[in-house]
Protein backbone atom coordinates (compact mmCIF):
# COMPACT_ATOMS: atom_id res chain seq x y z
CA UNK A 1 0.00 0.00 0.00
CA UNK A 2 1.42 3.38 -0.99
CA UNK A 3 -0.32 6.21 0.84
CA UNK A 4 0.94 9.67 -0.16
CA UNK A 5 -0.54 11.26 3.00
CA UNK A 6 2.13 9.64 5.21
CA UNK A 7 4.74 12.26 6.09
CA UNK A 8 6.51 14.05 8.91
CA UNK A 9 5.40 17.59 9.81
CA UNK A 10 8.23 20.14 9.78
CA UNK A 11 7.85 22.85 12.46
CA UNK A 12 9.93 25.47 10.63
CA UNK A 13 7.50 26.32 7.78
CA UNK A 14 4.62 26.46 10.26
CA UNK A 15 6.50 28.82 12.57
CA UNK A 16 7.42 31.12 9.69
CA UNK A 17 3.86 31.43 8.34
CA UNK A 18 1.90 34.70 8.44
CA UNK A 19 -0.52 35.62 11.24
CA UNK A 20 -3.44 33.28 11.72
CA UNK A 21 -3.54 29.53 11.94
CA UNK A 22 -0.39 27.74 10.89
CA UNK A 23 -1.05 24.47 9.13
CA UNK A 24 1.11 21.83 10.81
CA UNK A 25 0.03 18.75 8.89
CA UNK A 26 -2.91 17.56 6.83
CA UNK A 27 -4.11 14.10 5.94
CA UNK A 28 -7.00 12.98 3.79
CA UNK A 29 -9.60 13.37 6.56
CA UNK A 30 -8.10 15.62 9.25
CA UNK A 31 -5.75 18.61 9.55
CA UNK A 32 -3.81 20.02 12.49
CA UNK A 33 -3.20 23.74 12.96
CA UNK A 34 -1.36 25.90 15.50
CA UNK A 35 -2.82 29.19 16.74
CA UNK A 36 -0.59 31.88 18.31
CA UNK A 37 -2.73 34.99 18.90
CA UNK A 38 -2.07 38.17 20.86
CA UNK A 39 -4.76 39.73 23.11
CA UNK A 40 -7.42 41.53 21.12
CA UNK A 41 -6.80 39.34 18.08
CA UNK A 42 -9.10 36.43 17.41
CA UNK A 43 -9.76 33.69 14.90
CA UNK A 44 -12.62 34.63 12.56
CA UNK A 45 -16.07 34.02 13.98
CA UNK A 46 -18.93 32.35 12.18
CA UNK A 47 -19.96 28.93 10.98
CA UNK A 48 -17.46 26.27 9.93
CA UNK A 49 -17.96 23.49 7.42
CA UNK A 50 -15.82 21.22 9.59
CA UNK A 51 -15.67 19.94 13.17
CA UNK A 52 -12.87 21.34 15.35
CA UNK A 53 -11.24 19.94 18.49
CA UNK A 54 -8.57 21.97 20.25
CA UNK A 55 -6.14 21.98 23.17
CA UNK A 56 -4.85 25.13 24.88
CA UNK A 57 -1.06 25.24 25.24
CA UNK A 58 -0.76 28.71 26.82
CA UNK A 59 -2.79 31.83 27.50
CA UNK A 60 -6.40 32.56 28.31
CA UNK A 61 -9.43 33.02 26.07
CA UNK A 62 -13.18 32.46 25.87
CA UNK A 63 -15.02 30.45 23.28
CA UNK A 64 -18.57 31.67 22.71
CA UNK A 65 -20.49 28.87 21.01
CA UNK A 66 -24.21 28.96 20.33
CA UNK A 67 -24.56 31.54 23.15
CA UNK A 68 -22.59 29.49 25.71
CA UNK A 69 -19.37 31.04 27.10
CA UNK A 70 -16.56 28.55 27.68
CA UNK A 71 -13.40 29.79 29.43
CA UNK A 72 -10.19 28.36 27.95
CA UNK A 73 -6.95 28.03 29.94
CA UNK A 74 -3.79 25.90 29.52
CA UNK A 75 -4.66 22.21 29.46
CA UNK A 76 -8.32 22.80 28.51
CA UNK A 77 -9.74 21.13 25.42
CA UNK A 78 -12.80 22.06 23.40
CA UNK A 79 -15.05 20.96 20.54
CA UNK A 80 -16.82 23.12 17.97
CA UNK A 81 -19.35 21.01 16.06
CA UNK A 82 -19.62 21.46 12.32
CA UNK A 83 -22.00 24.34 11.55
CA UNK A 84 -22.03 25.80 15.10
CA UNK A 85 -22.06 29.61 15.41
CA UNK A 86 -18.97 30.55 17.42
CA UNK A 87 -16.38 33.22 18.21
CA UNK A 88 -13.35 33.67 20.46
CA UNK A 89 -12.18 36.41 22.83
CA UNK A 90 -8.43 36.43 23.51
CA UNK A 91 -7.28 37.82 26.90
CA UNK A 92 -3.64 36.66 27.05
CA UNK A 93 -1.31 35.52 24.27
CA UNK A 94 -3.14 32.37 23.25
CA UNK A 95 -1.44 29.30 21.86
CA UNK A 96 -3.47 26.25 20.93
CA UNK A 97 -3.36 23.24 18.67
CA UNK A 98 -6.53 22.26 16.86
CA UNK A 99 -7.59 19.47 14.56
CA UNK A 100 -10.28 19.88 11.94
CA UNK A 101 -12.24 17.22 10.08
CA UNK A 102 -12.49 17.36 7.18
CA UNK A 103 -9.23 19.31 6.77
CA UNK A 104 -10.04 23.02 7.22
CA UNK A 105 -7.92 24.19 4.31
CA UNK A 106 -9.61 21.83 1.85
CA UNK A 107 -13.24 22.80 2.39
CA UNK A 108 -14.83 26.27 2.46
CA UNK A 109 -16.67 27.36 5.60
CA UNK A 110 -20.41 27.94 5.52
CA UNK A 111 -19.76 31.69 5.84
CA UNK A 112 -17.17 31.75 3.02
CA UNK A 113 -14.00 31.43 5.14
Task: Provide the CATH number for the domain around residue 92.
Answer: 2.60.120.10
Q: Which domain holds residue 88?
A: 20-106
What is the per-residue pLDDT for 113? 41
* Domain membership flag for residue 50: yes
Instruction: List pLDDT tens digits, range 42-85.
Output: 777 888 889 999 999 999 999 999 989 999 999 999 999 999 99
**Among candidate residues 38, 59, 15, 46, the one with its CA nearest the CA of residue 111:** 46
Amino acid sequence: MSDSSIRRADAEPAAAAAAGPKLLVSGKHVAMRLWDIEPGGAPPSGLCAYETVGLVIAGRAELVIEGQVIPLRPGDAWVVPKGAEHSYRIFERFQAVEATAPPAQSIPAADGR
